[in-house]
Chains A and B, each alone.
Chain A
Amino acid sequence: MNLSISLTVNGERRDVELSDPRVTLLDLLREGLHLTGTKKGCDRGQCGACTVLVDGRRINSCLALAISLDGADILTIEGVARGDRLHPVQAAFIAHDGMQCGFCTPGQIMSAIGLIGEGQAGDDPERVREAMSGNLCRCAAYAGITEAVLDAQKALTAADLRKSA
């Protein structure tokens, strides 16, 4: 069985030889590519800690077989900052205390980036909470998370407006 795939991970092309067809995208990122920012919480699609973007869409990487994603473009938490400059969503999570222990934070941030890209929530906190319900936070930093998402979205929209002006 041919188990070699190629992925673009955080902008860089990676040719990968999978040891086994059972490898999930999450395990490939963590064990194969040593990108341990993406967290394994439940490993069953219930907690959202493993959220990454695949071809621009947020998904649970624990429920995706790596081999099925041959050719995909993957963005993980390691790929969102520009050098020392944090992504606006990262900066907003810090500004609003959108975390306590931090374990769910990479998944929260990737989910928030996906949510803002989807453009469905607008500035309605109820819609933001609903759209973030796939990311659990055992420390219950939800109030800060919601504020961070709303604030980051505002910042990103303002940046877009400046760019297009």
Chain B
Amino acid sequence: MASSVALPASEFQDNLFKRALRLLPGLFLLVAVGWAGKFVEQSIARYGKAHHLTLPNIEYVLWAILIGLVISNTVGIPAAFRPGLATYEFWLKTGIVLLGSRFILGDVLKLGGVSLILVAIEITVSLLFMTALGKAFGLSPKLTDLLAIGSSICGVSAIIAAQGAIDADEEDSSYAIAAVLALGAVALFTFPLIGHALGMSDTSYGIWAGLGVDNTAEATAAGALFSDAAGKVAVLAKTARNAMIGFVVLGYAIHWARKQHTAGIGNKALFLWQKFPKFVLGFLLISSLATARFFTGPQLANLANLSRWAFLLTFAGVGLRTNIGEMRKQGLRPFLVGAVGEVVIAALTLGLVLGASRFIH
């Protein structure tokens, strides 16, 4: 009896060990690229200081993304590195939870509350607009829905969640993900430029990046590229948007179940809980602990720095997983629908944020 229990346990440990081993090459690459980004930023700053030059302060975020992009689009990413690289999303979520230590709960409720109102408007208009656009361009209904969900809520996670819920094709979800990520890469560079050109405050810009950029990693990076404070607010606004994922996916799942006469959603509360991003709860918990003065000042600084390290791996992953050649192969029409939709959504959210700016300071 004892041996029959011990065998599966050792097999489980073996599997766990092998899985962990497979992650190592990619993890090392994430660390190396992230650290290289930080090294370049610091080297330029040191050089400027030593030679009394005023050089533009280009943040490590941009360097990490650019170095990753160059590697991914020149030498490419060998298969052995891919499992580890895919953990960038895990580091993103860990970073978001730890970032809770930099927010007082009152700020979370105030900024999160304003963000939630803007998110509700953004989601409603985006879903309607993207659906109409998909029909106008003759895309399949499921691809249209995936694009609408991806661009209105939270990019890749929402598309993956919706793919299973509405029983969409793998190909459709790949198209939708490709469009969302390609446009996210464009937003990384255009959002900070527009924000600076309009002279936006850190808070206003952060909320705009959180509402206008679809994928969480790109929204976080677009915020951080503007300023550290804007990056913090962008994460909060994006987290408020992510919290809506379950409700929207549930709505689409019920719609498609009725349309295809398949079994509907049995336990809706359970469905919502399964789709709810749990890192939002972790973020709120850490923020509550920080508000209750559970941590001392130096401890809060340590948690903030741990969050920065986690984001550093995320930004490296954003660059490393973006392959422009592969994006070209995905076809033009879904990309066009996504591009038109994104420009309209970016303009809409910018208008919303500027309109609400007196409530968010």
* A and B interact: no
